[in-house]
Amino acid sequence: MTAGTERFNPLAADTRWQKKWDAEATFQADSSSGKPKKYILEMFPYPSGRIHMGHVRNYTMGDVLARFERMRGNEVLHPMGWDAFGMPAENAAMEKGVHPGGWTRQNIANMRGQLKRLGFAFDWSRELATCEPDYYGHEQALFLDMLAAGLVYRKESAVNWDPVDHTVLANEQVIDGRGWRSGALVEKRKLNQWFLKITQFADDLLSGLDELKGWPEKVRTMQENWIGKSQGLTFGFALVEKAGEHQNIDVFSTRPDTIYGASFVAVAADHPLALALAQDNAELAAFAEECRRTGTAAAEVETQEKRGFDTGLKAVHPLDPNWQLPVYVANFVLMGYGTGAVFGVPAHDQRDLDFARKYDLPVRRVVSDGDASDAQFDGNEAYTGPGTIVNSEFLTGMTVQDAQKAVIDRAESEGWGKGSTVWRLRDWGISRQRYWGTPIPVIHCDSCGVVPVPKDQLPVTLPEDVSFDVPGNPLDRHPTWKHVDCPQCGKTARRETDTLDTFADSSWYFLRFASQPDDKPFDAAEVAQWLPVGQYIGGIEHAILHLLYARFWTRALKHIGLLDVAEPFESLFTQGMVTHETYSRDKGEGLKPDFFSPDDVTRSADGAILDSDGQPVEVGRVIKMSKSKKNVIDPEPIVDQYGADAVRWFMLSDSPPERDLPWSEAGIEGSWRLVQRVWRIAQMLDKDVAGEAGQDKDLLRTLHKAIAGVTEDIEALAFNKAVARIFTLATAIEKSQSSIDRNTAIRALLLMVAPMTPHLAEEAWMEMDADGLIANAAWPVADAKWLVDDEATIAIQVKGKLRDTLTIAKGLPKDETEALALASEKVQRFIDGATIRKVIVVPDRLVNIVI
């Protein structure tokens, strides 16, 4: 490129090519296209106001894949939108005196501009935001379809209530008994809630995991555990003395084989028996209330101290009428799992053992570990492995599996129990007591009951004139919005003021991206052209709830005849996080520390100081970038300094994509130098050279191996490997003396970097006078003849020790290989006239001379 510039100018190139792509609608997907279709999707972001490097990494990966598939001749759908409802907007409204809608839409505008500056190949014509009526109105229609199909119901249920955010929290959002956002002590309340019947699809959701070969095994395992199919025995313990109306305590156990190891019976604090007893027992009522304040997430229950309250009641062992067990209310038993009651077998369950040691209860061994079989169980670590049943009457000597069947058979034949299957999965409570969400489209009439809003009256839009000056849901206290006439009888009625869980918004957005008719949520035929999503990319933190709910929605919509697909995502990739150390100062015992942005801190080998006062701050661990910890890096100033391509390259080259990527200034500077290196190589192209290719066989072999390897690496999302291959090729180009072959390799190099550094590639493509946009050019194809080495390097051993190596023509006959090996001067020195007893030749690999 004799007319080219000496140095790549990213700021000029970035703007030029982004405008060009927009003007030509380069990345708009055409559903009517006859090309093979590929749907590439990254999990859409919450519009918090600014993107950070974690976003950049996620979207760069998807962008490379989308551009690559376009260049391979596919019609690619690569959309972008906004998961825009949720509590942060309401918190901002309360803190800053702004409307959630205005705050959200301004954030969307800011983040859209940031994403565009990075040159992502999104189809912006399909952009959507879940907070807009033209999206959530269709969601309301889908809700009504599910309601009509019997997949939605309403009932009173116990919920975790955040008294500060004034909303229901999922179990996973209660941490140490406090709300995950507000930090307030969570209360237990009973509320009328709307539910989706996800449990109706539990078996299908579980079995469907086997078909998801393109998903990480750890994600499938997490979903399998969350669905939690368990087979065992449901039976009752009779109480020695009736407690009010309660005569039995029903339990479910997956280990009925351990029934002779029972030491106690325990019920949850919200179990009907516990509630009845607490009415006349203030001490028990206080203990139960304390249990309600602690976390109910499974991980938290496992780690908290096991505590109980002895009710004084006794339960009769079903296999021995003379054996009585104490009945406790325990903090590790939850109403949401099984029957809300368990029988404890301390020797073979760690939670039970911790509890038994605390309250000095019997610990009886009933499963032998192969060495110990005596009934007395010592130690503080339960035995949960395989073994033979011991100390268990008629079960003694059986395997665990045989004993389980024997107990179930006896329970069923004697009428005190039944073999059964239970699920950990519970129906999805979707009601949220907040404003900034999708209004639930039903009306409550005193005469007609619950009445669906007629579809021709959708969307039910949120009122704009709301205030957040007092806690609670503004929809509840709005003077007019909730007051309507009943669509059936015309009498005065009221709207539902709960809004939908925001997980509902993200459970079908990928369908709306694929098809956007005005008169319905989507067109099934058009959706079928794109779904399932070929590659879905997002964080591991969404492995359970979002992905499970999305799988449920597609199944539910197929069940009611609106869709033809069941699984939404064919392949899933969970990328590693971008990480950075934290900077903080302790504010004292019981107070949260102050965190500071990297932009406000000067870092040195000795530590860090805050620029505003020159005083030290504590340097914390390298963790995921988080707004709450203020350890985020804003990409905008980095793009201003280095350009979009250097940032993109750093995201791809410095770490395997499934691993965390520590952010570093040295890393981005290194990527900037590599971008400039590719630019200099592009300028080596000689437009005036003519002649036949094939002079530099080493370069051509390196080139075609790079093409084949980079193709495989991008398909596997192994971007760091692809970058390494590209720079092996770059080195070969720089060394080559063949202008013709060098030109061929430079063009192929630019095509291969085009998905990764698209602005640089377009700029260089233009300067070499190539036709059209490189984004529309065809991906290079490897020539198979250059993928096979025509030379082999063989080892020559004398008496089993390496003495020389030799480069020969591949496939050389054994006798010729032997002759060349014996002719080696080094080999002759070691033979030194000795008699050669045998020569062993392994073609293309080895010659071993035995003397």
Confidence label for 455 from pLDDT (cuts 50, 70 and 90): very high
The candidate with the shortest Cα–Cα distance to 548, out of 277, 215, 236, is: 215
- Using DSSP, state whether 797 is helix, strand or coil: strand
pTM: 0.84
Residue 591 burial (CB < 10 Å; 0-12/13-18/19+)? exposed
To which CATH superfamily is domain 34-133+503-574 assigned?
A: HUPs (3.40.50.620)
Which residues touch 561 (CB under 8 Å, ≥6 apart)? Answer: none
CATH 2.60.40.420 fits 229-423, yes or no: no
pLDDT of residue 552: 98
Confidence label for 3 from pLDDT (cuts 50, 70 and 90): very low
Q: Give the number of other Cβ atoms within 10 Å of residue 290's Cβ.
A: 14
pLDDT of residue 189: 83
Using an 8 Å Cβ cutoff, are 460 and 439 in contact?
yes
Beta-bridge partner residues of 573 = 537
For 336-398, the DSSP string reads: TSTTSEEEE-GGG-HHHHHHHHHHT---B--EE-SS--SSB--SSS---S--EE-S-GGGTT-
- Of 148-157, 415-424, 626-635, 666-675, the poorest mean pLDDT is in 626-635
Residue 687 has pLDDT above 60, yes or no: yes
Section 5-20 average pLDDT = 92
Residue 557 Cα distances to 139, 553, 554, angstroms: 12, 6, 5
For 222-235, the DSSP string reads: HHHHHH-EEEEEEE
Residue 192 Cα distances to 147, 283, 433, 708, 759, angstroms: 16, 29, 11, 59, 55
What's the sign of the alpha-carbon dihedral 351, 353, 358, 364? positive
pLDDT of residue 170: 67
- Using DSSP, state whether 301 is helix, strand or coil: helix
d(CA 678, CA 760): 8
d(CA 573, CA 719): 13
Residue 320 Cα distances to 357, 366, 392, angstroms: 24, 16, 11
For 52-87, the DSSP string reads: -HHHHHHHHHHHHHHHHHHHTT-EEE-EEEE---SH
The candidate with the shortest Cα–Cα distance to 77, out of 121, 47, 119, 110, is: 121
If one looks up domain 791-850 in CATH, what number appears?
3.10.20.590
Residue 409 burial (CB < 10 Å; 0-12/13-18/19+)? exposed
Residues above pLDDT 70, as percent of the chain: 97
Using an 8 Å Cβ cutoff, are 643 and 14 in contact?
yes
The type of residue at 827 is: V
Beta-bridge partner residues of 535 = 40
Section 595-623 average pLDDT = 89
What's the mean pLDDT when you consider all of the chain?
92
Residue 49 Cα distances to 38, 92, 94, 108, 541, angstroms: 30, 11, 17, 7, 21
Q: What do you get for the CA distance between the two ends of the chain, in Å?
A: 60
- In the chain, the largest separation of any two C-alpha atoms, in whole Å, equals 116
Residue 507 token pair: 């459970």
The candidate with the shortest Cα–Cα distance to 633, out of 612, 647, 613, is: 647
- Of 167-176, 269-278, 484-493, 615-624, the poorest mean pLDDT is in 167-176
pLDDT of residue 252: 94
Residue 486 Cα distances to 142, 450, 462, angstroms: 21, 10, 19
Residue 611 token pair: 């620029």
Which residues touch 133 (CB under 8 Å, ≥6 apart)? Answer: 459, 461
Which of 539-543, 647-651, 662-666 has the highest mean predicted lDDT (pLDDT)? 647-651
Contacts 24+ apart (CB under 8 A), 245-253: 245/276, 246/272, 246/273, 246/276, 249/273, 249/315, 249/327, 249/341, 250/339, 250/341, 251/338, 251/339, 251/341, 251/342, 251/343, 252/338, 252/339, 252/420, 252/422, 253/342, 253/343
Residue 459 has pLDDT above 80, yes or no: yes
Which overall architecture, per CATH, does domain 137-197+427-500 show? Beta Complex (2.170)
For 89-101, the DSSP string reads: HHHHHHHH---HH
Residue 808 has pLDDT above 70, yes or no: yes
Query: Rounded to 10 degrees, what is the CA torsion of 139, 140, 144, 145?
Result: -20
pLDDT of residue 171: 66
Section 371-395 average pLDDT = 93
Q: Is the peptide bond before 459 cis (omega within 30 degrees of 0)?
A: yes
| DSSP run (H or E) holding 752 | helix 739-753
Burial 808-847 (b: 16+ CB within 10 A, else e): beeebeeeebbebbeebeebeebbeeeeeeebebeebeeb
d(CA 48, CA 114): 13
d(CA 89, CA 101): 8
Residue 114 has pLDDT above 70, yes or no: yes
d(CA 762, CA 496): 54
For 437-497, the DSSP string reads: SPBP-EEEETTTEEEEPPGGG---PPPS----SSSS-HHHH-SSTTEEE-TTT--EEEE--
d(CA 535, CA 574): 11
Confidence label for 2 from pLDDT (cuts 50, 70 and 90): very low
pLDDT of residue 1: 43
d(CA 614, CA 631): 19
Using an 8 Å Cβ cutoff, are 233 and 256 in contact?
yes
Residue 796 has pLDDT above 70, yes or no: yes
Residue 181 has pLDDT above 80, yes or no: no
The candidate with the shortest Cα–Cα distance to 436, out of 775, 105, 815, is: 105
pLDDT of residue 631: 85
The candidate with the shortest Cα–Cα distance to 47, out of 78, 79, 88, is: 88
d(CA 416, CA 592): 54
Q: Give the number of other Cβ atoms within 10 Å of residue 475's Cβ.
A: 21
46-97 residue pLDDT tens = 998 889 888 999 999 999 999 999 999 999 999 999 999 998 898 888 888 8
Taking the mean position of all CA atoms in its chain, how far away is CA 846? 49
d(CA 538, CA 55): 10
312-331 residue pLDDT tens = 999 999 999 999 999 999 99
Beta-bridge partner residues of 161 = 168, 187
Using an 8 Å Cβ cutoff, are 80 and 108 in contact?
no
Task: Provide the 8-state DSSP code for 184.
Answer: P
pLDDT of residue 65: 98
d(CA 292, CA 716): 47
Where exactly are the structural domains of the chain? 34-133+503-574, 137-197+427-500, 229-423, 791-850
Using an 8 Å Cβ cutoff, are 643 and 675 in contact?
yes
User: How long is the chain?
Assistant: 851
Which residues touch 245 (CB under 8 Å, ≥6 apart)? Answer: 276
Section 220-225 average pLDDT = 94
Q: Give the number of other Cβ atoms within 10 Å of residue 572's Cβ.
A: 19
- What share of residues in the chain are helix, strand, coil (percent, to 5)? 40, 25, 35
Which of 94-98, 728-732, 790-794, 834-838 has the highest mean predicted lDDT (pLDDT)? 728-732
The type of residue at 266 is: A
d(CA 5, CA 65): 30
Section 714-731 average pLDDT = 95
